[in-house]
Amino acid sequence: MRIALVYYSGTGNTEAMANVIAETLKGKADVDTIDPAAFGPEDIPAYDAFAFGCPAMGSEVLEEDIFEPMFTSIESLLSGKKIILFGSYGWGDGEWMRNWEERCIADGAILASDPVIANDAPDDEAAEALKNAADSLLA
């Protein structure tokens, strides 16, 4: 199985989350860690599943300069594709993730697990949720 791990991280917290996913999948699947600026519609057919990570920005939205344009360009191609979502936040209540999850469901994506959010750096509970989410891509 080939999985695209595509994430944006401004402070390193979402990167730490991506590292947990990558480590969990090591030896279980071929995982490509990809900067969102280097990922687009032409890449979708090469992967069996996707892990997308983006922190909350501004008033609880996806990062607007790199991640959001990339995601907008691919979301119509996610119908029937298995995905997981993850990201960190420093304020608010996770509205950005709920909105993103609803958007993905409307796109027809198959969410393999509940999204995983971490307030700032991932704690033990978030790390365990990330491991479970990563494994759900293989099911």
The pLDDT tens digits for 97-129 are: 999 999 999 999 999 999 999 999 999 999 999
Q: What percent of the chain shows pLDDT beyond 90?
A: 94
pLDDT band of 138, cuts 50, 70, 90: very high
Averaged pLDDT, 64-82: 97
51 within 8 A of 82, measured Cβ to Cβ: no
Averaged pLDDT, 2-8: 98
Q: Which pLDDT value is given to residue 132?
A: 98
Q: Which pLDDT value is given to residue 85?
A: 98
Handedness of CA 16, 20, 22, 23 (dihedral sign): positive
137 within 8 A of 25, measured Cβ to Cβ: yes
Q: What percent of the chain shows pLDDT beyond 70?
A: 100
Tokens 């501004």 belong to 58
Handedness of CA 121, 125, 128, 129 (dihedral sign): negative
Amino acid at 119: N
Q: Which pLDDT value is given to residue 16?
A: 98
pTM (global) more than 0.85:
yes
Q: Which pLDDT value is given to residue 91?
A: 86
Q: Cα separation of 134 and 139, whole Å? A: 10
Q: Cα separation of 64 and 19, whole Å? A: 23
pLDDT band of 92, cuts 50, 70, 90: confident
